[in-house]
């Protein structure tokens, strides 16, 4: 299973980065191959200062070795080894009317000291973070998510949509990071679902990512915008940074397992503002966005 999923994320990384370069038209992804001293490594690809994408990363990693003590406590195990692989991407477009997007699809195995698998699971999801709310964009993104889910189980979309709203919640701000999507974790073998079933589901979601995001980019990337629009985008990016550094489990796992710091923090946008006690004027498009972030909606 791990070999099959590694092959999948390598191919998906190629497909996504090639498509994004075609959309941008000017910038190209810089590739870094890296190795982790304790075992494994990855392939980081970053795009910067493009016509469409101000900064973005599409990274894959395959890491293994002894599970650090802090993570053993987190999982409630002792003397365990692990293997983890996944694709993680974040794209920060230049135009404030094009939303930021994040996605991650991952697979994890844990072993006892004889090398036998004692646990394994899939996780991942994708979510959209607009700076200005176009409801048809939110509906499109969620409809693609729902289609992928419905192909496997009708309960998946409402369940993983709710988990996404709960997970990407900036509790210290009492608001969502964005307008959600899907979030799932610890997808394990059960009487009803095999690991192959979960592989088929996770890869279906991954295969649908470009269909969910690219039409939105194409529709909004050439809209004209003002300095005020850009200021709001940078203020909202500050909330994105806060979530990733305060709440995100993936960031925590990478830091606790001696991951590559440049790859872990590639999700942070290049230009951000933190203004003291900033509030948008009532009745504005900016205020409309905040209302939805404080009260997540059903989009599909």
Known catalytic residues are 102
Contact 17, 45 (CB under 8 A): yes
Q: How many CB atoms lie within 10 A of CB 20?
A: 25
Residues 259 and 65 sit within 8 Å (Cβ to Cβ): no
Question: Whose structure tokens read 């003397």?
Answer: 79
Distance CA(85)–CA(106), nearest Å, equals: 6
* C-alpha of 94 from chain center: 18
| Residue 84 · residue 104 · CB < 8 Å | no
- Cα end-to-end distance, the chain, whole Å: 32
Task: Specify the 3-state DSSP secondary structure of 105.
Answer: strand
Indicate the helix (H) or strand (E) that contains 72. helix 69-75
Residue owning tokens 């176009």: 134
**Residue 66 near residue 72 (C-beta atoms within 8 A):** no
Element (H, E) at 214: helix 209-220
- Reduced to 3 states (helix: H, G, I; strand: E, B; else coil), residue 23 is helix
Instruction: Identify the sign of the CA torsion 275, 276, 281, 283.
Output: positive
- Measured CA to CA in angstroms, residue 102 lies from 21, 71, 99, 129, 179 at distances of 17, 24, 10, 8, 12
């Amino acid at each position: 299973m791990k070999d099959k999923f590694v092959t999948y994320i390598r191919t998906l990384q190629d497909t996504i980065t090639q498509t994004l370069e075609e959309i941008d038209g000017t910038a190209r992804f810089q590739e870094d191959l890296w190795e982790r001293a304790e075992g494994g490594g990855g392939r980081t690809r970053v795009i910067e200062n493009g016509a469409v994408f101000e900064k973005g990363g599409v990274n894959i990693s395959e890491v293994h070795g002894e599970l650090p003590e802090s993570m053993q406590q987190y999982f409630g195990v002792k003397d365990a080894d692990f293997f983890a692989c996944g694709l993680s991407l974040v794209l920060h477009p230049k135009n404030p009317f094009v939303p930021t997007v994040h996605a991650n699809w991952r697979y994890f195995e844990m072993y006892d000291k004889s090398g036998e698998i004692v646990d394994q699971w899939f996780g991942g999801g994708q979510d959209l973070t607009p700076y200005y709310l176009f409801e048809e964009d939110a509906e499109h993104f969620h409809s693609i998510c729902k289609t992928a889910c419905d192909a496997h189980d009708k309960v998946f979309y409402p369940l993983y949509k709710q988990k996404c709203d709960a997970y990407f919640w900036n509790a210290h701000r009492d608001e969502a990071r964005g307008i959600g999507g899907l979030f799932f974790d610890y997808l394990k073998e059960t009487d009803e679902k095999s690991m192959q079933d979960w592989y088929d589901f996770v890869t279906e979601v991954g295969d649908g990512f470009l269909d969910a995001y690219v039409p939105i980019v194409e529709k909004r990337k050439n809209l004209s915008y003002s300095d005020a629009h850009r200021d709001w985008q940078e203020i909202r990016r500050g909330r994105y940074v806060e979530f990733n550094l305060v709440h995100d489990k993936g960031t925590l796992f990478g830091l606790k397992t001696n991951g590559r710091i440049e790859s872990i923090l590639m999700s942070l946008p290049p230009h951000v503002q933190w203004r003291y006690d900033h509030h948008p004027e009532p009745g504005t498009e900016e205020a409309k966005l905040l209302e939805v972030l404080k009260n997540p909606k059903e989009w599909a």
